Amino acid sequence: MLAMLILGIESSCDETAVAIVEDGVTILSSTIASTKDIFSSAGGVVPEDAARRQVEFILPVLHATLAEAKILPKDIDVIAVTRGPGLLGSLLVGTVTARTLSALWKKPLIGVHHTFGHLSSIWLHAESTPEFPSITLSASGGHTDLWYRTAHTNGKLLGSTRDDASGEAFDKGASMLGLPYPGGPSIAASAESGDEHTFALPIALSGEDTLDFSFSGLKTAFKNTIKDQKLKDNDPQLQSNLAASYQFAICGQLVDRIKRACKQYPEAKEVHLVGGVSANTRLRELVRHALPNTVVRTPESIRYCTDNAAMIAAAGYFMHQEKEGSALEEFETSATLPLDAFIS
Ligand code: KG4
Ligand code: ZN
């Protein structure tokens, strides 16, 4: 069978990314222009600025990706683009570009749900082929979901956050500590020299029979703890202890729900951790420690945990293979752009 080349485009937030992926697993090239450093002192993304940067970067990133893979437009089989959710202005840059290329190059276009992209990231350059059924945690700045997956395009959403996403909790916590955006890597770095048992922070919903998440109470508890400690700039050890305790509480909740899901679905063969938060080393350690007899997979590289276009291309490939030309309603987790507008 001939290999299928998918051009993926991701522009849902502050990364402008284009990738070319063969058969959903082999990355021929993947380019990411990130504007995170621009927003690091602002404490978060400014939507209008992010959209402006997307306009600036999209064509240079596209050209660089085609050149690196030594691929001509005629060699591309399908174009896949993130259709949402995300920042509307940023998303429009990617979707308009994809629709234009699709019309110009006469290639079919697939609209991919951003979360489905993250779920597919486990397959990129995986050492061995991942297996279903899986329990998958998808945790990022915009969502925190737990899935029971039986195929790429078949799954059941077991639980979601009832308020903030876990990545957002990292971002807000970092800002409270005076650490730069994005908060996940900043907190993780500060936590390395801290003691995670210094402050006991709450694990939300641990008394409830649920696979949902909640982080807003933890954020408030953290804010109060910082206030009580009268954190000063010149006490890096206290800052590290706070960061470590906060990281431990976020990860603790994620691990607790994964463990419950594995108990409820003993037929699950593997646990997958995806999304920006899956880059967290402590989370990986805690999950592996809690489930010593389970195959726990994370994306092959940290680059594929956070937003990238290779995962969108991979997702487009799996959608094409399993559900050619049709929508993916079961992966809808929130209101987004109309899917039909982006499928031809
Ligand atoms: O998947 P992603 O790149 O974008 C969204 O879909 O939101 O995830 C970004 C989120 C941010 O909130 C960031 O703080 C978090 O992932 N993140 C981390 C780490 N690296 C990124 N959280 C914890 N530990 C990390 N090492
Ligand atoms: Zn993401």
Ligand 1 centre distance from Cα of residue 100 (Å): 30
Report how far residue 270's alpha carbon sits from residue 294's, in angstroms, rounded to the nearest whole number: 6
- Domain architecture of the chain: domains with CATH: 5-122+303-341 (3.30.420.40), 132-299 (3.30.420.40)
- Give me the chain's average pLDDT, please: 91
Ligand 1 atom showing the smallest separation from residue 114 Cα: 6
pLDDT in tens, 53-72: 999 999 999 999 999 999 99
Q: Which residues line ligand 1 (CB under 6 A)?
A: 13, 140-142, 167-168, 170-171, 182-185, 188, 275-277, 279-280, 306-307
Question: What is the pLDDT, as a whole number, of residue 327?
Answer: 41
Report how far residue 338's alpha carbon sits from residue 332's, in angstroms, rounded to the nearest whole number: 11
Question: What is the pLDDT, as a whole number, of residue 232?
Answer: 62
Residue partners of 249: CB distance under 8 A and separation at least 6: 201, 202, 203, 218, 222
pLDDT in tens, 18-53: 999 999 999 999 999 987 777 777 777 888 888 999
Distances (CA, A) of 324 to 12, 266, 327: 24, 31, 9
Which amino acid residue places its CA nearest to atom 18 of ligand 1? 184
Ligand 1 centre distance from Cα of residue 278 (Å): 8
Query: In the chain, pLDDT over 70 holds for what percent of residues?
Result: 92
Query: Dmax over Cα atoms in the chain, in whole Å?
Result: 65
Residue 340 pLDDT class (50, 70, 90 cuts)? very low
Q: Are 10 and 17 in contact (CB under 8 A)?
A: yes
Ligand 1 centre distance from Cα of residue 78 (Å): 28
Question: What is the pLDDT, as a whole number, of residue 39?
Answer: 76
Instruction: Write out the DSSP string of 74-128.
Output: GG--EEEEEEESS-HHHHHHHHHHHHHHHHHHT--EEEEEHHHHHHHGGGTT-SS
pLDDT in tens, 232-289: 657 899 999 999 999 999 999 999 999 999 999 999 999 999 999 999 999 999 999 9
Residues in the chain: 344
Of 301, 306, 336, the one to substitute when testing ligand 1's pocket (max ligand atoms within 8 A of C-beta) is 306
pLDDT in tens, 88-122: 999 999 999 999 999 999 999 999 999 999 999 99
Mean pLDDT value across residues 199-217: 96
